[in-house]
Amino acid sequence: MVGYVEGTRLQLTEDEAFQRRDWMAQRVAWVVFFLVLLAALLGLFGSGPLSTGSRRSAGAQIDYERFARNGRPMTLTITLDSTPGDSVIIDMSDDYLAAAPLERTEPEARAQAAGEGARRFEFPLAGEDGGKVVFHFDPRSVGLAKGWIAVNGGEPVSFSTFFYP
């Protein structure tokens, strides 16, 4: 299409196909920006409803982080429904511990043992948080780490965490 500006002899040409592609690119960029903002608000990159997960095991609730950053401390909490006896035994997969090395536990484990593909922890159940065990990790990997936890010899419960760089 050719147009003339009044009072001048300039000839302007419009590339309608280019303009349509430019408008389409702008609309796509706005949608992408909106989706990234929505994902951030929901917790995909930090804290929010999508950032934490919860699983049930026989007699326990396992709360973990679905998304974490390499080098940023994270926790996994196991809350026992009841506390029969004076200790609890928790088995955790070696694959997960390789991706997120264990810094410490609360309470401190009474005993630890390496097994086939897992590490076994025995915790005393006493005091105010007698029915709660918190694992503190220091992630050292990037990507998806899958693991499982079994409480008091029960059925293993699978979970996973994606570690951002």
Q: What is the pLDDT of residues 42-62, one digit of tens each?
A: 777 777 777 888 888 877 899
Same domain flag for 135 and 71? yes
Domain with 58 in it: what CATH number?
Answer: 2.60.40.680
Q: Which amino acid is at 103?
A: E
Residue 148, in any domain of the structure = yes
pTM: 0.75
Note the pLDDT tens digit of each residue in 70-80.
888 999 999 98
Same domain flag for 18 and 65? no
What is the helix (H) or strand (E) element at residue 37, kind and residue range?
A: helix 16-42
Residue 16, in any domain of the structure = yes
Peptide bond into 156 cis (omega under 30): no
